[in-house]
Amino acid sequence: MRDHGFEEYPIKGQTAALLLKCARVAMLGHDVAFVVHNGKMVRYARDLCAAQVRPCAVGKSYLIYGTARVKIYPSEAAYWGLTGWGGFMVLDHELEPGSSALVAQDLCRVMRDMRDLTNLQFPEGEFERLSAHPLENMPPEAVWTGGRGIGS
């Protein structure tokens, strides 16, 4: 994996790595829901994902990669927004057990249960297998070469 310049900010580095996996899976045609801590993180996560892998289109809380999308939800709205979701669900590291973020443990438990139930429709380890595809195998126009923002 290439250097993203987030070494001095380990939290950003963990989020960037998760979003890169989400973008890779979406480029292979599978929808991915990425759940962040709160509503303020939605735009940050969207821009961070778009800065790593160039999307075909960008919306307020989603990125489209070919026929699939990475949809970013705040944890407060994820339960309602992901009812009937047909793709993968990934939680930001702040919603995982043992994180240092000030997140209600009940909310974390509900999000983990939702993730587990949503991902039951796929074989175990499928997300990790799909996200292991190197960017070199992706179309060259999809890989971001290092601009200053979306569309530059």
Does 102 fall in a domain? yes
Q: pTM for this one?
A: 0.77
Determine the structural domain holding residue 67 and report its residue range. 10-123
- Residue type at position 10: P
Does 4 fall in a domain? no
Does 143 fall in a domain? no
Between 10 and 124, residue with greater pLDDT: 124
pLDDT band at 118 (very low <50, low <70, confident <90, very high): confident
Please give, one letter per residue, the 3-state secondary structure of 41-106: HHHHHHHHHHHHECCCEECCCEEEECCEEEEEEEHHHHHHHCCCCCCEEEECHHHCCCCCCCCCHH
| Domain count for the chain | 1
Does 91 fall in a domain? yes
Whether 32 contacts 87, CB under 8 Å: yes
Does 84 fall in a domain? yes
Does 73 fall in a domain? yes
pLDDT digits (tens, 9 = 90+) for 23-71: 999 998 999 999 998 888 899 999 999 998 899 999 999 999 988 999 9
Does 129 fall in a domain? no
Residue 98 predicted with pLDDT over 70: no
Does 43 fall in a domain? yes
